[in-house]
Structure 1
Amino acid sequence: MEQFVAVALAHFFALLIPGVDFFLIVRTTITNGWRNATGACLGIATANASIITAVFSSIALISSPILLSAVQLFGGGFLIFIGTAFLCSPALIDPDRTSSTEHTTWQRNFGLGITSGLLNPKNILFYVSLAAIVGDAAPLVLLGYGVWMFTVLLGWDIFVAVALGSRRALAHMGRVLPWLSKAAGGFLILFGAGMLVELACHTIG
Structure 2
Amino acid sequence: MSVFLAVALAHFLALLSPGPDFLMVVRSAARHPVRVALGVPAGIAIANGVYIALCLLGVATVLSQSAGLLMIVRIAGGLFLLWLGVMALRARRSDYAFLMQAAAAEPIERASSFWREAVIGFASGILNPKNLLFYLSLFSLVLTPEVAIAFKVGLGLWMVLVVFAWDALIVLVLSHGAVRMWFNRTVFYIDKFTGLVLGAIGAKIVHGAATHS
> Which TM-score applies when normalising by structure 2?
0.56
Measured on the aligned residues, the alpha-carbon RMSD in Å equals 4.8
- Which amino acid is the alignment partner of residue 124 of structure 1? F
Instruction: Please list, as runs of the form range in 1=range in 2, the aligned pairs for 1:145-156 lying within 5 A after superposition.
Output: 148-156=154-162
Paired residue secondary structure (2:102): coil
Is 1:127 aligned to 2:133, yes or no? Answer: no
Query: Structure 1 residues 15, 197: CA separation in 2 closer, same or farther (over 3 Å shift)?
Result: closer
Kindly provide the CA deviation profile for residues 128-150 of structure 1, in whole angstroms up to 9, marking residues without a partner as x: 36x5132xxxxxxx4x6665544
Q: Displacement, 1:21?
A: 3.6
CA distance in 1, matches of 2:147, 2:125: 33
CA distance in 1, matches of 2:80, 2:167: 26
Aligned to 1:30: 26
Find the partner of 2:124 among 84, 104, 108. Answer: 108
Paired residue secondary structure (2:147): helix
Query: Structure 1 residues 39, 189: CA separation in 2 closer, same or farther (over 3 Å shift)?
Result: farther
The percent of aligned pairs where both chains have the same amino acid is: 7
Aligned to 2:165: 159
Find the partner of 2:75 among 54, 69, 90. Answer: 69
Find the partner of 2:60 among 51, 55, 65. Answer: 55
Query: Structure 1 residues 105, 51: CA separation in 2 closer, same or farther (over 3 Å shift)?
Result: closer
Q: Displacement, 1:157?
A: 1.7
Query: Structure 1 residues 12, 184: CA separation in 2 closer, same or farther (over 3 Å shift)?
Result: same
Query: Structure 1 residues 50, 109: CA separation in 2 closer, same or farther (over 3 Å shift)?
Result: closer
Is 1:90 aligned to 2:99, yes or no? Answer: yes
Which sections of structure 2, spanning at least 5 residues, go unmatched? 30-37
CA distance in 2, matches of 1:156, 1:202: 27
CA distance in 2, matches of 1:41, 1:31: 17
CA distance in 2, matches of 1:163, 1:170: 12
Which sections of structure 1, spanning at least 5 residues, go unmatched? 1-5, 135-141
Kindly provide the CA deviation profile for residues 9-34 of structure 1, in whole angstroms up to 9, marking residues without a partner as x: x8589546732145458944335545
- Matched length: 188
Kindly provide the CA deviation profile for residues 169-198 of structure 1, in whole angstroms up to 9, marking residues without a partner as x: 635724422134434543454456546766
